[in-house]
Homo-oligomer: A and B are copies of this chain.
Amino acid sequence: MATNVSDLDTPALLVDLDRLEANLDRAAAYAKASGLRLRPHTKTHKSPLVASMQVARGAVGLTVAKVGEAQVMAGEGVPDLLVAYPVWGDVKWARLARIARAVPVTVALDSPDVAEGLAVHARRAGIVIRVLVEADLGMRRCGLPPGPALVDLARHVEALDGLRAQGIMFYPGHINPASSGGPGQLGKLRSDLERVLSDFGASGLCAEIVSGGSTPTLYHSHTIDGLTEIRPGTYVFNDRSQVAMEACKWEHCALSVVATVVSVSERGWFVVDAGSKTLSSDLQRPDQDGCFGHVVDVPGARLHMMNEEHGMVDMSGRMDLAPRIGERVHIIPNHVCATVNMHDVVHGVRGGTVEVSWKVAGRGRVQ
């Protein structure tokens, strides 16, 4: 029998299935129209069910950050898995080589150390692991900056038996196209990538795959010459940060936390049963108000303080608009990937009915 959404206990994660499907369709159509391969990052949903919806819409493969996530995602019908992370150590290399027997695996790396370890395990397992070398085009995280060291690394990978160099990966997570510096950052990215591609061309190195893309830059991808593939993750659900970065509108936010008002203070606030262990303490990006989410149902409400199980919502003097104890509110989180990672189950809702509930199978797979 179908469960009414009002019968779910709180706090709980709700996904508006119409919005989810629209988000998936929009990105898939954009990628197709732009001639870009879509290899979505599954870190946002961590669910083989949502991954299968992405594959059904033409995703050429899936992206993960951890070997444990690759194990969860390596199901039937998955064309390809990219581990966008410099996997280290015999335990993880051996696990990855086992996965690569069933599903083609690509690893992004930025050091000869990781390449050599992977190559040993690939040869031992009698398989080939594909490799993208990671370029740092401004993120200052992993990756080598454009220049000779990056070329040397790619050459090193091409020389290693057990690996197949396929090109370049970068992550433009530092770029917010809606900020005043955004157009300049995008311009810098284009010229940096041009330099890398020119270096690779001059050295005869493979750049069959040039993989970039984040949700904020998603719909700018066609303006980046040389890009062949994008890896957005957050676009499936979106969140308050994506709205702030103008990557989407509120009506594209598919996931909300339903919470119950458990305490109301005449002194100007109410408390909901969703705190940092339900929402995560990630701030909005870029942080504009120090709040921890957008309370959809209550005009003027500011979720300005949290403890682990308490969310404190300031009403700025308008207690006449505050809900009463026992009423439910819906909160769009600042960073939906971090929120989903707090939970075991997500409920997919359409027209007030829970149509499907799925396990966050990749939650906690930090290894």
Chain A residues at the B interface, C-beta cutoff of 8 Å: 9-12, 43, 65-66, 85-89, 91-92, 110-111, 113-114, 136, 140-143, 145, 173, 260-265, 267, 269, 271, 273-274, 276-278, 280-283, 305, 307-310, 312, 325-326, 337-338, 341-344, 364, 366-367
Contacts and interface: CB of A to CB of B under 8 A. Distances in A.
* Most chain B beta-carbon contacts within 10 A, residue among A9, A10, A276: A9
B325 A269 contact: no
B88 A326 contact: yes
A280 B326 CA distance: 29
Given A113-B325, A269-B140, A280-B281, A367 B9 contact: yes
- Listed from nearest, the 6 A-B pairs whose CB atoms lie closest are A65-B309, A142-B263, A86-B262, A113-B325, A9-B91, A9-B367
B366 A278 contact: yes
Contacts of A276: 280, 282, 338
A364 B338 contact: no
Contacts of A282: 276, 281
Given A9-B92, A276-B282, A366-B343, A308 B86 contact: no
A124 B87 CA distance: 56
A342 B326 contact: no
Given A65-B309, A142-B310, A11 B326 contact: no
Contact of A309 (B265, B325, B366): B366
A325 B111 contact: yes
B111 A43 contact: no
A10 B65 contact: no
Contact of A271 (B10, B113, B141, B342): B141
A88 B272 CA distance: 10
B273 A88 contact: yes
B364 A342 contact: yes
B9 A263 contact: no
B88 A366 contact: no
A224 to B, nearest CB: 21
A136 B338 CA distance: 31
B309 A66 contact: yes
B341 A364 contact: no
Contacts of A277: 338, 341, 366
Nearest to A261: B88
Contact of A142 (B86, B260, B271): B271
B343 A88 contact: no
19 contacts: A9-B91, A9-B92, A10-B367, A11-B366, A85-B273, A85-B309, A87-B262, A88-B261, A88-B273, A113-B325, A141-B307, A142-B262, A142-B271, A277-B341, A278-B366, A280-B281, A308-B337, A341-B342, A343-B364
Contacts of A65: 308-309
A10 B305 CA distance: 32
Contacts of A265: 136, 140
A326 B89 contact: yes
Contacts of A114: 262, 325
A303 to B, nearest CB: 13
